Structure 1
């Protein structure tokens, strides 16, 4: 059972992000990390191997040269190999283009189960897993908190989805795409042994030519959506301090009422 995990290299969420003149992220301005939500996908893939139903885990990412650090982080947690799709022409790609590139790479790698996080911590669109599944023409189980591969012939994947007081039981034939939430299980920390071992694991880099993709269908030229405007979040204003001289509760109720919160 070959498991392929999609991961993303994103700007550190705690840093002050900046943007270039063409309204794309200025990656050199802030450090990058493996998307936190993707760590849950890595964890769940590794658990399948530990359960004896997964035999090989490969990580796939699309991004700048620095994105290799995200692959090494995933490999230090566990897994066998990684593929990095890296090409200058990919800059400015939207979700539709990204899904096209990742689907093409996934087909070339080959897999039985494709696992990913429910969203990335920089974009948060939550649409990429569905788009990749659609392009591959395979079923998708989304926003799951738990999944298991069939123990008999490994031809199915069963999952549990929780939300709004409802628990759903899902099942699909493999190959399939599974996106997991941050409630699926705490990701493991890389051990020193894992960090050292990751340095020797194979990481293959592919360009658009390796995927037989025309540069005209990727990047900003191939994207159908684009960012038109970016506005910096207003600075936080000082709160209002209300001295309590016995009527603090009344003042608080009056403030909430004036803001139509009660």
Structure 2
């Protein structure tokens, strides 16, 4: 039987762009370019490596987002994933991690799965809790923050590295796994992969397909909201120390005055 792997990916604003909030205090995604979250590329890479080791495996990439989120799916497909699912609905605007986990869980159950792989966090929200919430909704084990992951004989095993020690973890499939940016460099899509991605299937779903009511997601159903935001203050001119024999002393006094030393 084929190993069914679902990789959850996210279309995020480019971190190098000038990001801001819209009038409703959600992230303004119109004025900045988006891309596949870098941390999710590691999840795609690990799925590809697991599939390479399996006798038979199929990788589905799944995202929740606006029309442009297809770009993230195409990137993952060009890396080597087999097919994609795109959940898009106007009522999803403003959805927080709790609502997103509901949508992902319903889509994953609809698709069928043995293993769900995510990145360690998104590069926009950076909460890092979605894998655990998703596992709870699916009712399966979670093995999170892995820097190494393998699947064999119906079991997923991995290594979680901490500051002072490493742990070996395992769980029976089906399960949810998240991987860190230390799990292995993500491959670059080849020209052949980019061309092949254009022909791979992308299934479009909305809330009605998943049996989710509008008030369960979006700003109306959000458990977490931004209540205020202010622009970062402009950077002020720094202090210039001219070294005329007393530079070291002046630098030490400055650092001491700022309580850095």
Q: Bin the TM-score by the shorter chain.
A: over 0.9
Deviation readout 1:199-245 (Å, 9 max, x if unpaired)? 00000000111001111211111112211011111122221110111
Shift of 1:107: 0.7
Give, in whole Å, the separation in 1 of the partners of 2:212 and 2:252.
Answer: 61
State the Cα RMSD in Å: 1.0
> Out of 34, 38, 41, which is 1:39 matched to?
41
- Equivalenced residues, count: 259
Q: What's the counterpart of residue 80 of structure 1?
A: 82
CA distance in 2, matches of 1:162, 1:184: 10
1:149 is paired with a residue whose SS is strand
- The answer for the alignment partner of 2:156 in structure 1 is 157
CA distance, structure 1, for counterparts of residue 82 and residue 51 of structure 2: 11
Q: Is the 8 A contact 1:91 1:219 kept in 2?
A: yes
1:146-183: per-residue Cα shift (whole Å, max 9, x none)? Answer: 01011xx2x11110011212111111111111111111
TM-score of the aligned structures, taking structure 2 as reference length: 0.97
Structure 1: 5+ residue stretches without partners: none
Which of residues 5, 8, 30 in structure 2 aligns to 1:6? 8
Match of 2:207 in 1: 208
What is the deviation of 1:27?
1.5
Show the 5 A alignment for 1:1-262: 1-52=3-54, 55-150=57-152, 153=153, 155-262=154-261
Runs of 4+ off more than 4 Å: none
Deviation at residue 14 of structure 1 after TM alignment: 0.7
Cα distance 1:229–1:118, how it changes in 2: closer, same or farther (>3 A)?
A: same
SS in 2 for 1:164: coil
Rounded to whole Å, the distance in 1 between the matches of 2:44 and 2:120 is: 12
- CA pair 54-254 structure 1, distance change in 2 beyond 3 A: farther
Could you give the per-residue CA deviations for residues 85-116 of structure 1, whole angstroms, max 9, x where no partner exists?
Answer: 00001001111111111111111111111000
Alpha-carbon distance in structure 2 between the residues aligned to 1:82 and 1:23: 30
Against the structure 1 CA distance between its residues 54 and 44, is the aligned structure 2 distance closer, same or farther, given a 3 Å change threshold?
farther
Deviations 1:40-89 (A, max 9, x none): 00001001112225610000000001101110010000011000000001
Q: CA separation of 1:123/1:53 partners in 2, compared to 1, >3 Å: closer, same or farther? A: farther
Distance of aligned partners of 1:54 and 1:95 in 2 relative to their CA distance in 1, 3 Å threshold: farther
